Amino acid sequence: MTQDLLPVTRIPRTGLPAHAVVVGDPARAAAVATLLDGAEEVSYHREYRVFSGSWKGLPVVVASHGVGAPGAILLFQELADAGVRTFLRFGTAGAMRPGIGDGDLVVAEAAVRDDGVTHQLLPPEYPAVSSPEAVLALQQAARGAGAPYHRGVVWTRAAFQPGLLPLFSYAGAGLAAIEMELSALLVTASLRGLVAGGVLVIDGANADELVDEQATGGYDPHRAVVAAGVERGAVVSLEALRLLAEAEGEQA
């Protein structure tokens, strides 16, 4: 019955696990789902591909949100409507700080809200912050996996490539990485009292710096060094969800 499905993503209104890893690419959602026991595809509509299964006994959702925060926030909102309470975004990003290499992980402490959607929802002064417990769980999971990682503030920006208008530069602001959806997730979670965080695999420098005559000819997220980082990041994000659930159980 269609009323049992949420309108945009067409995920079921009830019955999903409370812990979710969200990723941009539907193929990455499928790859993460292969790590789960009893993985099943729940739904696949537009860019929103949703799996459920369990990671070391913890029931989890793995879902894709596509590219760009205005579309992604619809998945975050509908997963929350369906009962998801803990979200970790596992994405890719460009590095913005010296010393952060390709394939490294960046654990986001907060995000700049340049996402192209949340300014239409609430004032720009409202912060986009990760839940502290999510930052610590991701850090612990990264250490446990032996994955090179960094912590820092991420720039969520709606534009991938620059156009004719000058884009503000955050050079000198100490940002760690640039991507396109995280701030929308963090704001959604704060507004609803949910837990959220993010871990990003570095796939090159900020795409602005890679623009050349062939337009982003230098942007290549399909290299082996990135794939290795994605494999590590998948385990780190699932394990961080488990650590968060374990801590919730201890508090209950």
Ligand X SMILES: O=c1cc[nH]c(=O)[nH]1
> Which residues sit at the interface with ligand X, rule CB under 6 A?
92-94, 160, 178-180, 203, 206-207
Residue 34's contacts (CB-CB under 8 Å, 6 or more residues apart) are none
Q: Is 198 in the site for ligand R1P (CB under 6 A)?
A: no
# binding residues, ligand R1P (CB under 6 A): 10
Residue 138 binds to ligand R1P (criterion: CB under 6 A): no
- For position 92 contacting ligand R1P by CB under 6 A, the verdict is yes
Q: Does 25 bind ligand R1P (CB under 6 A)?
A: yes
- Among 16, 23, 61, 75, the residue binding ligand R1P under the rule CB under 6 A is 23
Residue nearest to ligand X (CB): 94
The least CB distance from residue 54 to ligand R1P, in Å, is: 23
- Which partner from the list ligand R1P, ligand X, none does 94 bind, CB cut-off 5 to 8 Å by kind? ligand X
Q: Is 204 in the site for ligand R1P (CB under 6 A)?
A: no
Residue number, 67 or 136, with CB nearest to ligand R1P: 67
- DSSP assignments along the chain, one per residue: -GGGB-TTT--BSS---SEEEEES-HHHHHHHHTTSEEEEEEEEETTEEEEEEEETTEEEEEEE--SSHHHHHHHHHHHHHTT--EEEEEEEEEE-STT--TT-EEEEEEEEEESSSGGGTS-TTS--B--HHHHHHHHHHHHHHT--EEEEEEEEES-SS--SSPPP--TTS---EEESSHHHHHHHHHHHT-EEEEEEEEEEE-GGGG--TTSSTT--TTSHHHHHHHHHHHHHHHHHHHHHHHHHHHH-
Binds 25: which of ligand X, ligand R1P, none (CB < 5-8 Å by kind): ligand R1P
181 touches which of ligand X, ligand R1P, none (CB within 5 to 8 A by kind)? ligand R1P
Beta carbon nearer to ligand R1P, 25 or 102: 25
Question: Per-residue string for binding with ligand R1P, 170-189, x by CB under 6 A?
Answer: ---------xxx--------
Length of the chain (residues): 252
Which amino acid appears at position 26 of this protein?
A: P
**Interface with ligand R1P includes 96 (CB under 6 A)?**
no
3-state secondary structure of 28: helix
Shortest spacing between CB 207 and ligand X, in angstroms: 3
Longest dimension (CA), the chain: 57
Nearer to ligand X, 71 or 94 (CB): 94
- What are the residues binding ligand R1P (CB under 6 A)? 23-25, 67, 91-92, 160, 179-181
